[in-house]
Structure 1
Amino acid sequence: MKVPGFLLAGLAALSMAGCATRGPATDSPVLSDPEALAAAQAGQATRAAWLASRPDWSFAGRVAVNANGKGGSGRIDWQQAGADYLVALSAPVTRQSWRLSGDLQTGAGRLDGLEGGPREGRDADVLLREATGWDIPVASMAYWARGLADPATGTDGMDYDATGRLRTLAQHGWRVDYLDWFPAEGAQPPMPRRMEARREGATVKVAVDQWQLAPQ
């Protein structure tokens, strides 16, 4: 497997601001009061419905990936138009870039920026794993990045913090920790600012600088 050169561990020193300076929010108190928990769950359902009504969205920020001791960091720009996505990752130091595009409905994907030219596959997760060695659930990440559970798979658990915001989410072997949030703006609900997705041998950290949510 040939990991794109600009994502190798040598780039791990690239500034990630808050993205790599703090571990999972295990010290944050879990909301346990039944009434407060029910209110938090209702608020999350309302938030999920609001976001579902806006299928076109994007965010820009930074990402750090580690898979079995190999990884790196760089800028990330995720653009979503319904089921179609385009994820661009770039390293300002080397001016190299890598792009993953695909369709969440079919699961197919295309990876550009690799040595030897682009690759395509029926399963974006498998394509990414075979080309880079990373194990990242791309379709689920489209939901996790927005602070939502992936409706296509079962949920093993969801915890909320004292403010009623989602604190942790567990799905198909992954634990997602939400470390920081942008506050609500008008009708727009709070959006994740920093999150970490972890499973054995794999970590994905995302720090969002800006969200763009298209009007309904």
Structure 2
Amino acid sequence: MNVRMMMAAVAAVGLAACTSVPVRAPLQTVELAPAALADAQARLAARENAVRSLPQLAFNGRVAMSNGRDGGSGRIDWVQTGAEYRVTLSAPVTRQSWQLEGGPQGARIDGLDGGPREGVDVGVLLREATGFEIPVAAMAAWAAGMRADTGAAQVAFDAGGRLARLQQDGWTIDYLEWQPDSASGAVLALPTRINAQRGDARVRLIVDSWARGGAAGMLSTP
């Protein structure tokens, strides 16, 4: 299966599926008072430490991607175990799919015409295979509302002290919605709607369910 063809084929149906969910604006960022800002930063650091201590973190949902000329979308399943990841993207109607597995040592894509492809740089591998900029090295952290271990980051909070915007590696990640604190505790509440953009490259993620620490089943979002 040709990934470029698959992405074009699912664009009309998959993107419609994503946009059928009511559009919501990003959380409004505010300039917090020094004491409130220090508290928000401390809570963010504590939540990052708690999430990073989990042996495994996984989510499934819907993703839409665009590079300024082409776009596509579909179902996404992501399993992160330490620095290792397994990502499956599938078309919503045909269920055709491709899978990416890798880590610091490199990555491999299965499901392509001509057989698997491998590369040391996952970004280059995906760009050559799909034509899309997909920040795999940082995406799991950003999806979980954390700063990635890829360089300096700037953060902004909403009036309640929740992370509303994260800027890192040239990407701007806007958080549109979080799980309510009562779903999992204030420390481990996770995002459910995220928009990421760098130049013409855009990624929109809607998380349907999260699983933490190798839980037996996914934890549904409200």
TM-score (norm 1): 0.89
Q: How far, CA to CA, are the matches of 1:167 and 1:186 in structure 2?
A: 18
1:207–1:114: structure 2 CA closer, same or farther, 3 Å change rule?
same
Instruction: For 2:85, give the aligned amino acid.
Output: Y
1:4–1:94: structure 2 CA closer, same or farther, 3 Å change rule?
farther
Q: How far, CA to CA, are the matches of 2:200 and 2:185 in structure 1?
A: 40
2:174 corresponds to which of 177, 193, 211? 177
% same residue: 47
1:21 corresponds to which of 16, 20, 23? 23
Question: Which residue of structure 2 aligns with residue 207 of structure 1?
Answer: 206
1:150 corresponds to which of 148, 151, 155? 148
Q: How far, CA to CA, are the matches of 1:186 and 1:88 in structure 2?
A: 29
Question: Which residue of structure 1 aligns with residue 61 of structure 2?
Answer: 61
Number of aligned residue pairs: give it.
Answer: 210
Q: How far, CA to CA, are the matches of 1:113 and 1:42 in structure 2?
A: 43
Q: Which runs of 4+ in 1 moved over 6 A?
A: none
Question: Which residue of structure 2 aligns with residue 70 of structure 1?
Answer: 70
Aligned CA-pair RMSD: 2.0
Q: How far, CA to CA, are the matches of 1:43 and 1:206 in structure 2?
A: 24
Per the TM alignment, residue 109 of structure 1 is displaced from its structure 2 partner at its CA by 0.7
1:208–1:13: structure 2 CA closer, same or farther, 3 Å change rule?
closer
2:133 corresponds to which of 135, 140, 144? 135
Structure 1 segments unaligned to the other structure (5+ residues): none
CA deviations over 1:112-171 (Å, ceiling 9, x no partner)? 12222211101111100111111122111121011011123121x200011111000001
Q: How far, CA to CA, are the matches of 1:101 and 1:67 in structure 2?
A: 22
1:175–1:20: structure 2 CA closer, same or farther, 3 Å change rule?
farther
Q: How far, CA to CA, are the matches of 1:214 and 1:18 in structure 2?
A: 31
Per the TM alignment, residue 4 of structure 1 is displaced from its structure 2 partner at its CA by 3.1
Q: SS where residue 110 of structure 1 aligns?
A: strand
